[in-house]
């Protein structure tokens, strides 16, 4: 078994001042987000008693919150980080779709690329959280509502028109594929064919990473479980197995960089020329809630690359953003100011 080069086993350092300067440029960038919009619904209730009908808790409903999830969360994070976001997606003519459209209108995001599809269901993840007064609510059940039919061909054609037009104004394209039919490899390939090769195209794909091998993707941000599924393996603590799988994906997809997120173990960055860098988790390794953290990583990594950061610099920025968002409850975002404060705090030695 070939051993990894010793220099590749340690994290390479970066200039934190340069990272801050990069983040300061976020507000000057325009990013197109192609992805599956999902509504993340949180239903909070207090435990009143145990049901007489079955051994289950009865929750007294207190409130319901609906926030952007999936590709919509990636778009939301891009907006919170200061970028001008041009989303291309679809929602149904339903309450969840109405809520997502209303959210982005309030944030003054251009919604012309979000297509309303009659008779289609906006993918919705409904989480039920239980607790007593003055305690942290715990998730006890999740119910998913998914489309029962694929998107019509006419809608797919509109995606191509919207994507092609919006890319003319963009500094980067982020693709968020949650498997609901909006993001597709052939769509990315068709829309980017006429654009300059130095446009960063990043990908976060839940189920079919390698199908984008011919789509011109420059960087991908899968989590470790997605890499395991792609290569039919189990990584665990076997860093050499992770290295083999990561290098295989990098080569198969002809990527400039591959950033694999590993939860409390931080991240691993793969680059050309056999570069392999481990990045320790930022902040505490005891996450409060990892829901949607991958969307934050995709947003921060894409924006950093759009600003001209190296993959290593972009990975450190994404790592800090991810470390911040997992300390928040529910599907959350990180603002440009929060990210800058964290980087400056680390540079001055006052990071918490």
**pLDDT, tens digit (0-9, with 9 covering 90-100), for 159-188:** 999 999 999 999 999 999 999 999 999 999
> For residue 275, what pLDDT is reported?
82
Using alpha carbons, list the distances in angstroms from residue 273 to 8, 30, 200, 250, 305.
11, 30, 19, 11, 19
- Residue 61 domain-assigned (yes or no): no
* pLDDT < 70: residue spans in the chain: 1-12, 195-197, 350-352
The two tokens of residue 310 are 């190296």
51 contacts: CB under 8 Å, gap ≥ 6 = 57, 58
Q: Which residues are catalytic?
A: 295
Locus of tokens 């086993």:
9
Residue 120: count other Cβ atoms within 10 Å of its Cβ: 23
- Residue 171 domain-assigned (yes or no): yes
What 8-state DSSP symbol labels residue 113?
T
> For residue 237, what pLDDT is reported?
87
- Residue 52 domain-assigned (yes or no): no
Range of the domain at 239: 6-37+69-122+148-348
**Number of folded domains that form the chain:** 1
DSSP string across 23-78: HHTGGG-EEEEEE-EEEEEEEEEEEEEE-SSSS-EEEEEEEEEEEEEEHHHHHHHH
45 φ, ψ (degrees, to nearest 5): -150, 155
Alpha helices in 184-286 (DSSP H): 185-192, 224-231, 239-253
- Residue 175 domain-assigned (yes or no): yes
CATH number at residue 30: 3.40.1190.20
- Residue 85 domain-assigned (yes or no): yes
> For residue 3, what pLDDT is reported?
41
The distance in angstroms from the start CA to the end CA of the chain is: 40
- Distance separating alpha carbons of residues 315 and 338, to the nearest angstrom: 17
Beta strand pairing call for 37-50 and 124-131: parallel
- Residue 97 domain-assigned (yes or no): yes
In this prediction the pTM is 0.92
């Amino acid at each position: 078994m070939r051993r990894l080069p010793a220099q590749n086993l340690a994290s390479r350092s970066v200039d934190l001042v340069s990272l801050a300067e990069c983040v300061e440029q976020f507000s000057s960038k325009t990013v197109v987000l192609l992805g599956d919009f999902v509504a993340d619904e949180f239903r909070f209730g207090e435990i009143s008693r145990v049901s007489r009908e079955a051994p289950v808790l009865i929750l007294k409903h207190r409130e319901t919150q609906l926030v952007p999830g999936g590709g919509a969360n990636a778009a939301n994070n891009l907006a919170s980080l200061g970028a001008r976001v041009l989303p291309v997606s679809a929602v149904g003519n339903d309450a969840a779709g109405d809520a997502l459209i209303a959210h982005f209108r309030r944030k003054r995001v251009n919604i012309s690329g979000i297509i309303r599809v009659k008779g289609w269901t906006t993918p919705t993840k409904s989480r039920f959280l239980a607790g007593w007064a003055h305690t942290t609510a715990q998730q006890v059940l999740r119910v998913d509502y998914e489309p029962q039919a694929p998107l019509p061909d006419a809608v797919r054609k509109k995606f191509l028109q919207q994507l092609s037009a919006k890319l003319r104004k963009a500094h980067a394209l982020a693709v968020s594929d949650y498997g609901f039919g909006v993001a597709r490899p052939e769509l990315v390939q068709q829309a980017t064919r006429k654009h300059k090769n130095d446009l960063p195209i990043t990908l976060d794909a839940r189920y079919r990473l390698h199908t984008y091998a011919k789509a011109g993707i420059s960087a991908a941000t899968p989590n470790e479980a997605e890499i395991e599924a792609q290569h039919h393996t189990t990584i665990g603590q076997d860093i050499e197995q992770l290295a083999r799988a990561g290098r295989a994906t990098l080569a198969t997809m002809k990527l400039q960089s591959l950033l694999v997120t590993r939860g409390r173990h931080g991240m691993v960055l793969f680059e050309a020329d056999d570069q392999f860098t481990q990045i320790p988790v930022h902040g505490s390794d005891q996450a409060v809630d990892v829901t949607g953290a991958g969307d934050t990583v995709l947003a921060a990594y894409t924006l950093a690359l759009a600003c001209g950061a190296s993959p290593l610099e972009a990975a450190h920025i994404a790592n800090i953003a991810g470390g911040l968002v997992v300390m928040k409850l529910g599907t959350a975002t990180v603002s440009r100011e929060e990210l800058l404060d964290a980087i400056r705090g680390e540079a001055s030695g006052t990071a918490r």
